């Protein structure tokens, strides 16, 4: 173990950072796009159900095929890897946002309107805080999946811990496979736990604001 760290320690740190960066960029893009879309779709359920079904079907396409699809358009490297992972992050976040906002108690929304809240104020002060646990569940699920799938970025020169895994497979060196797998697993666990703590904090703050608004 010590010999491996002495030989590959610096590279391991760099690859772990690359893996984290690719995953973080993809999930941030997913949140920025999918959460507003989910809110919009909660106002148009017929279109939403069809759109989410189409996205669900598209996400059955193997991830390697999606990566390969972006190569002729964007070449190789981190950008196509991030976009491919972003594509896979959409469905859980979009679906959970749509379901969470849609299922907010209509009585609470009507009470807000009765107090003179605009549609935007209702979303920010009532609907998002109340649906936050469901939305965060989608974000956590996407994040854990993306950290695992980010290993495939190595196929198109995106870097990350996948480089160790595929080098280990090609060179028949289990130590390299372990060096790529263990940090990725730890990253996923840390990310999930961090998001759980963030969810707890945001949920308590959001519910307090909602009760104050009511």
User: What would the pLDDT profile of 55-93 be if each residue is shown by its tens digit?
Assistant: 788 777 777 777 777 778 877 888 888 888 888 888 889
Q: First-to-last CA distance in the chain?
A: 58
Please, which residues have CB within 8 angstroms of residue 45's CB and are 6 or more apart in sequence?
102
Please, which residues have CB within 8 angstroms of residue 78's CB and are 6 or more apart in sequence?
18, 21, 22, 153, 158, 159
Tally of domains in the chain: 1
Domain that holds residue 70: 2-213
Q: What phi and psi values does residue 191 have, to the nearest 5 degrees?
A: -65, -45
The domain that holds 67 is classified in CATH as: 1.10.3720.10
Quote the CA–CA distance of 86 and 145 in Å, as a whole number.
11
- For the ranges 34-38, 42-46, 71-75, 102-106, the maximum mean pLDDT occurs at 34-38
User: What would the pLDDT profile of 83-131 be if each residue is shown by its tens digit?
Assistant: 888 888 888 899 999 999 888 887 777 777 777 777 787 888 888 888 8
């Amino acid at each position: 173990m010590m010999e491996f760290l002495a030989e590959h320690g610096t590279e391991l740190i760099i690859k772990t950072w690359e893996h984290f960066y690719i995953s973080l960029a993809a999930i941030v893009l997913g949140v920025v796009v999918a959460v507003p879309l989910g809110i919009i779709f909660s106002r148009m359920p017929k279109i939403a159900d069809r759109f989410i079904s189409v996205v669900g079907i598209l996400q059955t396409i193997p991830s390697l095929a999606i990566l390969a699809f972006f190569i002729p358009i964007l070449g190789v490297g981190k950008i196509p890897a991030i976009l491919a992972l972003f594509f896979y992050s959409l469905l859980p976040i979009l679906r959970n946002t749509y379901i969470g906002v849609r299922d907010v108690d209509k009585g609470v929304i009507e009470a807000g309107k009765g107090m003179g809240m605009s549609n935007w104020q209702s979303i920010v002060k009532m609907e998002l805080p109340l649906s936050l646990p469901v939305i965060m569940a989608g974000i956590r699920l996407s994040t854990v999946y993306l950290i695992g799938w980010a290993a495939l970025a190595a196929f198109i020169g995106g870097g990350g811990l996948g480089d160790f895994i595929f080098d280990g497979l090609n060179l028949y060196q289990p130590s390299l496979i372990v060096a790529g797998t263990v940090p990725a697993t730890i990253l996923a666990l840390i990310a999930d736990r961090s998001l759980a703590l963030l969810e707890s904090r945001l949920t308590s703050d959001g519910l307090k604001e909602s009760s104050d608004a009511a």
